[in-house]
């Protein structure tokens, strides 16, 4: 699958302007391990740091994946630590989209001095765990009953990637 990785900065993100967004949201919501994409640009913009947001676009400029980060804390000691999310549309899985997105994300975080990128993944999501390990993340441990998914308490595998150029 040929994809283009594009930035989402200063309101130029192609996500909310695509007519296929509603259709994509319906398809994504049926996936077991993903959530629907943010429904509006203001929702996405307010919750993610602008310099570290990327989308994967297919040949028709449809969004087939995205990644973005949020700060883990507003305390200055954690200024270089972010938590990321990466989502790949079910139809695009296994085609390198996730790795391309994480590669772009990690280059952007390294460039501005972020020293740790972390994420939490359900243990059953072995594809995501493998993707993160391929991208240079390591498993820190499992936090028991940390997340709720469809009303059920879930264990979450904590992953982190320490920057090779910062710190």
Q: What does residue 63 show for φ and ψ, rounded to 5 degrees?
A: -75, 125
Provide the Cα torsion 27, 158, 57, 40; round to 10°: 60
Residue 51: per-residue pLDDT: 85
Enter the pTM of the model.
Answer: 0.82
Q: Which tokens belong to 164?
A: 């090779």
DSSP-assigned states of every residue in 76-111: GGGTTEEEEEEEE-GGGTTTTHHHHHHHHHHHHHHH
Per-residue pLDDT of the chain (167 residues; tens, 9 = 90+): 678 898 876 555 655 444 344 444 444 433 333 445 556 767 777 778 878 989 898 887 778 888 999 998 989 898 899 999 998 988 888 889 999 999 999 999 999 999 999 999 999 999 999 999 999 999 999 999 988 888 889 999 999 999 999 87
CA angle, residues 51, 56, 57, in degrees to nearest 5: 125
């Amino acid at each position: 699958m040929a994809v283009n990785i594009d930035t989402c900065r200063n309101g130029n993100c192609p996500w909310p302007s695509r007519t296929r967004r509603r259709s994509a949201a319906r398809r994504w919501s049926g996936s077991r391990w993903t959530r629907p994409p943010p429904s509006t640009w203001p929702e996405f913009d307010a919750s993610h740091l602008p310099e570290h947001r990327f989308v994967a676009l297919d040949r028709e400029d449809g969004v087939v994946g995205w990644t973005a980060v949020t700060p883990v804390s507003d305390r200055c000691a954690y200024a270089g630590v972010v938590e990321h999310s990466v989502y790949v549309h079910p139809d695009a899985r296994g085609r390198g989209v996730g790795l391309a997105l994480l590669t772009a994300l990690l280059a952007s975080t390294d460039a501005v001095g972020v020293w740790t990128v972390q994420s939490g993944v359900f243990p059953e999501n072995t594809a995501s765990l493998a993707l993160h390990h391929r991208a240079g993340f390591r498993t820190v441990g499992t936090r028991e009953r940390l997340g709720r998914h469809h009303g059920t308490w879930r264990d979450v595998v904590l992953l982190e990637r320490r920057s090779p150029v910062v710190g």
